[in-house]
Structure 1
Protein backbone atom coordinates (compact mmCIF):
# COMPACT_ATOMS: atom_id res chain seq x y z
CA UNK A 1 0.00 0.00 0.00
CA UNK A 2 1.39 3.38 -0.98
CA UNK A 3 1.73 6.13 1.61
CA UNK A 4 -0.37 9.27 1.50
CA UNK A 5 0.58 12.83 2.40
CA UNK A 6 -0.99 14.33 5.51
CA UNK A 7 -2.94 17.58 5.58
CA UNK A 8 -1.08 20.58 6.97
CA UNK A 9 -4.29 21.71 8.67
CA UNK A 10 -4.13 18.61 10.87
CA UNK A 11 -1.24 19.94 12.99
CA UNK A 12 -2.05 21.00 16.55
CA UNK A 13 0.11 23.37 18.62
CA UNK A 14 -0.40 23.95 22.34
CA UNK A 15 1.30 26.05 25.00
CA UNK A 16 1.32 25.14 28.69
CA UNK A 17 -0.27 27.77 30.93
CA UNK A 18 2.34 28.09 33.66
CA UNK A 19 0.05 30.39 35.67
CA UNK A 20 -2.64 27.70 36.12
CA UNK A 21 -2.74 25.74 39.39
CA UNK A 22 -2.99 22.43 37.48
CA UNK A 23 -1.34 21.29 34.25
CA UNK A 24 -3.25 23.18 31.56
CA UNK A 25 -2.51 23.14 27.84
CA UNK A 26 -3.93 25.89 25.64
CA UNK A 27 -4.42 25.17 21.92
CA UNK A 28 -3.21 28.00 19.70
CA UNK A 29 -6.11 28.75 17.34
CA UNK A 30 -6.31 30.71 14.11
CA UNK A 31 -3.22 29.24 12.46
CA UNK A 32 -3.04 28.96 8.70
CA UNK A 33 0.63 28.16 8.19
CA UNK A 34 3.61 26.84 10.12
CA UNK A 35 7.25 26.15 9.37
CA UNK A 36 9.26 23.63 11.37
CA UNK A 37 12.99 24.25 10.99
CA UNK A 38 14.84 21.28 12.57
CA UNK A 39 18.24 22.79 11.69
CA UNK A 40 17.74 26.19 13.36
CA UNK A 41 20.71 27.19 15.55
CA UNK A 42 22.81 24.20 14.46
CA UNK A 43 26.53 24.77 14.97
CA UNK A 44 29.33 22.75 13.41
CA UNK A 45 33.07 22.47 13.84
CA UNK A 46 35.27 22.16 10.77
CA UNK A 47 37.34 18.98 11.16
CA UNK A 48 39.02 19.11 7.74
CA UNK A 49 42.73 18.22 7.95
CA UNK A 50 45.48 17.31 5.47
CA UNK A 51 44.43 13.65 5.81
CA UNK A 52 40.97 14.61 4.46
CA UNK A 53 42.63 14.72 1.02
CA UNK A 54 40.74 17.83 -0.06
CA UNK A 55 37.34 16.64 1.14
CA UNK A 56 35.43 18.80 3.61
CA UNK A 57 34.68 17.27 7.03
CA UNK A 58 32.72 18.52 10.02
CA UNK A 59 31.20 17.48 13.34
CA UNK A 60 27.87 18.81 14.56
CA UNK A 61 28.50 20.50 17.91
CA UNK A 62 25.02 21.88 18.63
CA UNK A 63 21.50 21.00 17.50
CA UNK A 64 18.52 23.32 17.53
CA UNK A 65 15.04 23.73 16.12
CA UNK A 66 12.27 26.28 15.76
CA UNK A 67 8.67 26.50 14.66
CA UNK A 68 7.21 29.62 13.10
CA UNK A 69 3.45 29.91 13.50
CA UNK A 70 1.37 32.31 11.45
CA UNK A 71 -2.34 32.91 11.17
CA UNK A 72 -5.12 35.24 12.11
CA UNK A 73 -5.67 37.17 15.34
CA UNK A 74 -8.57 35.28 16.91
CA UNK A 75 -11.36 36.43 19.20
CA UNK A 76 -14.53 34.71 20.41
CA UNK A 77 -17.49 36.03 18.39
CA UNK A 78 -19.87 35.99 21.36
CA UNK A 79 -17.63 37.50 24.05
CA UNK A 80 -14.87 39.29 22.14
CA UNK A 81 -12.31 37.50 24.31
CA UNK A 82 -8.96 36.67 22.73
CA UNK A 83 -8.08 33.10 21.85
CA UNK A 84 -6.56 31.75 25.10
CA UNK A 85 -3.48 30.25 23.37
CA UNK A 86 -2.65 33.41 21.41
CA UNK A 87 -3.38 35.59 24.44
CA UNK A 88 -1.04 33.54 26.67
CA UNK A 89 1.77 33.72 24.10
CA UNK A 90 1.34 37.49 23.60
CA UNK A 91 0.73 38.70 27.15
CA UNK A 92 2.25 36.13 29.48
CA UNK A 93 5.06 34.26 27.78
CA UNK A 94 6.45 36.91 25.40
CA UNK A 95 7.09 39.36 28.25
CA UNK A 96 9.31 37.10 30.35
CA UNK A 97 13.09 37.51 30.53
CA UNK A 98 16.05 35.41 31.67
CA UNK A 99 15.36 32.03 33.21
CA UNK A 100 11.66 32.86 33.29
CA UNK A 101 11.53 33.14 29.47
CA UNK A 102 11.13 29.42 28.90
CA UNK A 103 7.77 27.68 28.64
CA UNK A 104 6.67 24.20 27.55
CA UNK A 105 4.98 23.75 24.17
CA UNK A 106 3.78 20.62 22.44
CA UNK A 107 2.74 19.79 18.90
CA UNK A 108 1.61 16.85 16.80
CA UNK A 109 -0.46 15.90 13.81
CA UNK A 110 -3.98 14.69 14.59
CA UNK A 111 -2.99 11.29 13.14
CA UNK A 112 -0.17 10.85 15.68
CA UNK A 113 -0.38 9.29 19.15
CA UNK A 114 2.62 11.16 20.60
CA UNK A 115 3.14 14.86 21.31
CA UNK A 116 6.54 16.38 20.63
CA UNK A 117 7.28 18.44 23.75
CA UNK A 118 9.75 21.31 23.88
CA UNK A 119 11.03 23.59 26.57
CA UNK A 120 11.21 26.76 24.50
CA UNK A 121 11.39 30.51 24.20
CA UNK A 122 9.08 32.61 22.05
CA UNK A 123 9.61 35.61 19.80
CA UNK A 124 6.36 37.42 19.04
CA UNK A 125 5.69 38.02 15.37
CA UNK A 126 4.25 40.93 13.49
CA UNK A 127 0.56 41.70 13.59
CA UNK A 128 -1.20 43.82 11.06
CA UNK A 129 -3.39 44.04 8.00
CA UNK A 130 -4.78 46.33 5.34
CA UNK A 131 -8.20 47.74 4.54
CA UNK A 132 -9.73 44.47 3.37
CA UNK A 133 -7.59 42.10 5.41
CA UNK A 134 -8.09 40.23 8.64
CA UNK A 135 -5.53 41.00 11.36
CA UNK A 136 -2.53 38.67 11.28
CA UNK A 137 -0.87 36.90 14.22
CA UNK A 138 2.53 35.19 14.40
CA UNK A 139 5.12 33.78 16.79
CA UNK A 140 8.41 31.89 16.49
CA UNK A 141 9.08 29.20 19.07
CA UNK A 142 12.71 28.14 19.60
CA UNK A 143 13.55 24.83 21.26
CA UNK A 144 15.83 24.87 24.33
CA UNK A 145 17.47 21.53 25.07
CA UNK A 146 16.36 18.19 23.69
CA UNK A 147 12.82 17.43 22.62
CA UNK A 148 10.81 14.87 24.55
CA UNK A 149 7.56 13.08 23.79
CA UNK A 150 4.32 12.47 25.66
CA UNK A 151 1.43 10.17 24.89
CA UNK A 152 -1.78 11.72 23.64
CA UNK A 153 -4.40 11.23 26.33
CA UNK A 154 -8.09 11.69 25.91
CA UNK A 155 -9.71 13.57 28.77
CA UNK A 156 -13.37 12.91 29.61
Structure 2
Protein backbone atom coordinates (compact mmCIF):
# COMPACT_ATOMS: atom_id res chain seq x y z
CA UNK A 1 0.00 0.00 0.00
CA UNK A 2 1.43 3.37 -1.03
CA UNK A 3 1.84 6.12 1.54
CA UNK A 4 -0.57 9.02 1.09
CA UNK A 5 1.56 11.57 2.90
CA UNK A 6 4.66 13.05 1.34
CA UNK A 7 7.31 15.51 2.47
CA UNK A 8 7.03 19.04 1.10
CA UNK A 9 9.79 20.89 -0.73
CA UNK A 10 11.63 23.54 1.30
CA UNK A 11 11.70 25.82 -1.75
CA UNK A 12 7.89 26.10 -1.59
CA UNK A 13 7.88 28.36 1.48
CA UNK A 14 6.78 31.97 1.02
CA UNK A 15 7.72 34.86 3.32
CA UNK A 16 6.24 38.37 3.16
CA UNK A 17 6.60 41.54 5.20
CA UNK A 18 3.85 44.13 5.66
CA UNK A 19 4.66 47.58 4.29
CA UNK A 20 3.33 49.51 7.28
CA UNK A 21 3.75 52.85 5.46
CA UNK A 22 1.52 51.91 2.50
CA UNK A 23 -1.92 53.53 2.27
CA UNK A 24 -3.57 50.13 1.74
CA UNK A 25 -2.55 46.70 3.05
CA UNK A 26 0.54 45.80 1.04
CA UNK A 27 2.53 42.62 1.61
CA UNK A 28 6.02 42.54 0.09
CA UNK A 29 7.40 39.11 -0.87
CA UNK A 30 10.99 38.58 0.28
CA UNK A 31 12.88 37.28 -2.76
CA UNK A 32 16.14 35.40 -3.10
CA UNK A 33 15.74 33.12 -0.09
CA UNK A 34 17.68 29.87 -0.11
CA UNK A 35 17.07 28.63 3.44
CA UNK A 36 15.03 29.23 6.54
CA UNK A 37 14.87 27.91 10.08
CA UNK A 38 11.73 28.13 12.21
CA UNK A 39 12.52 27.72 15.91
CA UNK A 40 9.19 27.45 17.79
CA UNK A 41 10.95 27.06 21.17
CA UNK A 42 13.12 30.20 21.04
CA UNK A 43 12.59 32.54 24.02
CA UNK A 44 10.55 29.97 25.93
CA UNK A 45 10.65 30.43 29.70
CA UNK A 46 9.67 27.85 32.29
CA UNK A 47 9.10 27.79 36.05
CA UNK A 48 10.15 24.73 37.99
CA UNK A 49 7.84 23.47 40.69
CA UNK A 50 9.60 20.29 41.75
CA UNK A 51 9.23 19.64 45.50
CA UNK A 52 10.13 16.96 48.02
CA UNK A 53 6.79 15.24 47.41
CA UNK A 54 7.56 14.96 43.66
CA UNK A 55 9.40 11.75 44.58
CA UNK A 56 12.43 12.74 42.51
CA UNK A 57 10.51 13.60 39.35
CA UNK A 58 11.07 16.99 37.74
CA UNK A 59 8.04 19.28 37.28
CA UNK A 60 7.70 22.53 35.36
CA UNK A 61 5.19 24.89 33.76
CA UNK A 62 5.79 26.86 30.57
CA UNK A 63 5.43 30.52 31.50
CA UNK A 64 6.31 32.11 28.14
CA UNK A 65 6.26 30.93 24.53
CA UNK A 66 8.42 32.42 21.83
CA UNK A 67 9.59 31.70 18.29
CA UNK A 68 12.02 32.92 15.64
CA UNK A 69 12.44 32.64 11.89
CA UNK A 70 15.91 32.86 10.42
CA UNK A 71 15.79 33.58 6.70
CA UNK A 72 18.82 33.54 4.44
CA UNK A 73 19.50 33.91 0.78
CA UNK A 74 21.05 36.10 -1.85
CA UNK A 75 20.96 39.88 -1.96
CA UNK A 76 18.66 40.61 -4.91
CA UNK A 77 18.42 43.66 -7.17
CA UNK A 78 16.28 44.54 -10.18
CA UNK A 79 18.72 44.38 -13.10
CA UNK A 80 17.36 47.38 -15.09
CA UNK A 81 17.03 49.74 -12.10
CA UNK A 82 19.57 48.39 -9.63
CA UNK A 83 16.94 48.67 -6.87
CA UNK A 84 17.10 46.08 -4.11
CA UNK A 85 14.22 43.58 -3.90
CA UNK A 86 11.31 45.39 -2.24
CA UNK A 87 10.90 42.86 0.60
CA UNK A 88 14.61 42.77 1.40
CA UNK A 89 14.83 46.56 1.14
CA UNK A 90 11.91 47.06 3.54
CA UNK A 91 13.62 44.80 6.10
CA UNK A 92 17.02 46.50 5.63
CA UNK A 93 16.09 50.16 5.30
CA UNK A 94 12.76 50.60 7.12
CA UNK A 95 12.03 47.88 9.66
CA UNK A 96 15.61 47.39 10.91
CA UNK A 97 15.91 51.03 11.99
CA UNK A 98 12.74 51.24 14.09
CA UNK A 99 12.96 51.35 17.88
CA UNK A 100 10.60 50.84 20.82
CA UNK A 101 7.01 49.98 19.99
CA UNK A 102 7.66 51.10 16.40
CA UNK A 103 10.10 48.18 16.02
CA UNK A 104 7.19 45.75 15.69
CA UNK A 105 5.95 44.94 12.20
CA UNK A 106 3.94 42.12 10.69
CA UNK A 107 5.38 39.22 8.75
CA UNK A 108 3.52 36.28 7.25
CA UNK A 109 4.66 32.92 5.92
CA UNK A 110 3.30 29.64 4.58
CA UNK A 111 4.08 26.81 2.23
CA UNK A 112 2.58 27.21 -1.25
CA UNK A 113 0.52 24.06 -0.62
CA UNK A 114 -1.19 25.61 2.42
CA UNK A 115 -4.38 27.65 2.39
CA UNK A 116 -3.59 29.86 5.40
CA UNK A 117 -0.83 32.29 6.30
CA UNK A 118 0.81 32.29 9.73
CA UNK A 119 1.01 35.95 10.77
CA UNK A 120 3.37 37.30 13.42
CA UNK A 121 3.77 40.67 15.00
CA UNK A 122 7.55 40.64 15.25
CA UNK A 123 10.86 42.44 15.48
CA UNK A 124 13.75 41.97 13.08
CA UNK A 125 17.50 41.71 13.48
CA UNK A 126 19.30 42.24 10.16
CA UNK A 127 21.86 39.57 9.35
CA UNK A 128 25.30 39.62 7.85
CA UNK A 129 25.88 40.25 4.17
CA UNK A 130 28.97 39.16 2.33
CA UNK A 131 30.64 36.80 -0.06
CA UNK A 132 33.94 35.78 -1.57
CA UNK A 133 35.38 36.16 -5.05
CA UNK A 134 33.11 33.68 -6.83
CA UNK A 135 30.05 33.97 -4.55
CA UNK A 136 26.80 35.82 -4.86
CA UNK A 137 26.27 38.37 -2.07
CA UNK A 138 24.41 36.88 0.88
CA UNK A 139 21.43 38.37 2.71
CA UNK A 140 19.77 37.32 5.97
CA UNK A 141 17.54 38.38 8.85
CA UNK A 142 16.23 36.95 12.10
CA UNK A 143 12.56 37.60 12.84
CA UNK A 144 11.46 37.24 16.46
CA UNK A 145 7.77 36.78 17.21
CA UNK A 146 6.20 39.25 19.63
CA UNK A 147 2.91 38.02 21.07
CA UNK A 148 0.55 35.30 19.95
CA UNK A 149 0.56 34.23 16.28
CA UNK A 150 -2.56 34.51 14.13
CA UNK A 151 -3.61 33.06 10.80
CA UNK A 152 -5.43 34.33 7.71
CA UNK A 153 -6.84 32.52 4.71
CA UNK A 154 -4.97 32.83 1.45
CA UNK A 155 -6.96 34.84 -1.08
CA UNK A 156 -8.04 32.37 -3.72
CA UNK A 157 -7.34 29.35 -1.49
CA UNK A 158 -3.62 28.92 -2.21
CA UNK A 159 -0.94 29.63 -4.75
TM-score normalised over the length of structure 2: 0.95
- Asked if 1:151 corresponds to 2:153, the answer is yes
| 1:88-103 map, 5 Å | 88-103=90-105
- Residue 138 of structure 1: aligned partner: 140
Cα separation, 2, equivalents of 1:110 and 1:103: 23
State the distance in 2 between where 1:17 and 1:105 align. Answer: 10
Partner of 1:73: 75
Cα displacement (A) at 1:44: 0.2
CA distance in 2, matches of 1:2, 1:55: 40
- Counterpart of 2:121 in structure 1 is 119
For 1:84, the equivalent position in structure 2 comes to 86
3-state DSSP of counterpart to 2:23: coil
| Structure 1: tracts of 5 or more residues without a match | none
Alignment partners' CA distance in 2, 1:103 and 1:17: 8
Partner-residue secondary structure (3-state), 2:146: strand
CA distance in 2, matches of 1:59, 1:23: 38
Cα deviation, residue 5, structure 1:
0.1
Determine helix, strand or coil for the equivalent of 2:4.
Answer: coil
Aligned to 1:31: 33
Q: Which residue of 2 aligns with 1:106?
A: 108
- Looking at structure 1, the residues matched to 80 and 153 of structure 2 have their Cα atoms a distance apart, in angstroms, of 34
**1:127-153 CA distance string (max 9 Å, x none):** 001111110000000000000000000
Stretches of 4+ aligned residues off by more than 2 angstroms: none
Q: TM-score, normalised by structure 1?
A: 0.97
Cα-Cα RMSD:
0.7
- Give CA-to-partner distance per residue, 1:46-73, whole Å, 9 cap, x none: 1101111011110000000000000000
